[in-house]
Amino acid sequence: DTGVSQDPRHKITKRGQNVTFRCDPISEHNRLYWYRQTLGQGPEFLTYFQNEAQLEKSRLLSDRFSAERPKGSFSTLEIQRTEQGDSAMYLCAATVPGREKLFFGSGTQLSVL
C-alpha cells in the first residue's frame, strides 16, 4: 500500500463526454503529480502541485484538461470533450520534500469509445 488512492480504477466513456478522476494522497504528501501512460510507453508528465498551488503544467496538456487540488489534499483531473486519443492510464504520484521515494497510485484506466 503506497498510501495514494485513485478512483475510479477503470472508466469507459463515449467520445465527447467529460470525465473526472480523483487522487487521494496521505496528508503528509504535499507534492502531487499527474502522469499519463499509454501501452508500451513510459509515463508522461501532465502537471505538478505543491500543496494547493499548481506549479507546473505540461505543454502536452490541451485546454480540455484541468486539474485542481483544493486545500492541498486530494486532487482531481478533468478531461472535457474526451477524444479517443485520451485513452490511457492516468497515474497520480505523491511525495514529501526530503523523502526519497515517489508513491504512485494504481492509476485510472480510461477508455474512450
Partner 1 sequence: KNEVEQSPQNLTAQEGEFITINCSYSVGISALHWLQQHPGGGIVSLFMLSSGKKKHGRLIATINIQEKHSSLHITASHPRDSAVYICAVTGAGSYQLTFGKGTKLSVIP
Dihedral (CA of 48, 36, 6, 87) sign: positive
101 part of the interface to partner 1, by CB under 8 A:
yes
Pairwise CA distance, residues 113 & 30, whole Å: 35
Nearer to partner 1, 18 or 38 (CB): 38
C-alpha cell at 72: 492541498
- Residue 90 Cβ vs partner 1, minimum distance, rounded to whole Å: 12
- Residue 17 Cβ vs partner 1, minimum distance, rounded to whole Å: 26
48 part of the interface to partner 1, by CB under 8 A:
yes
Pairwise CA distance, residues 12 & 65, whole Å: 17
- Residue 63 Cβ vs partner 1, minimum distance, rounded to whole Å: 19
Count of residues binding partner 1 (CB under 8 A)?
25
β pairing state of 88-95 and 75-79: unpaired
User: Judged by CB under 8 A, which of 33, 61, 67, 112 binds partner 1?
Assistant: 33
C-alpha cell at 38: 499509454
Q: Write out the H or E segment, with its range, that includes residue 88.
A: strand 88-95
User: Judged by CB under 8 A, which of 7, 13, 20, 45 binds partner 1?
Assistant: 45
Binding site for partner 1 (CB under 8 A): 2, 31, 33, 35, 40-45, 48, 50, 55-56, 58, 91, 93, 100-107
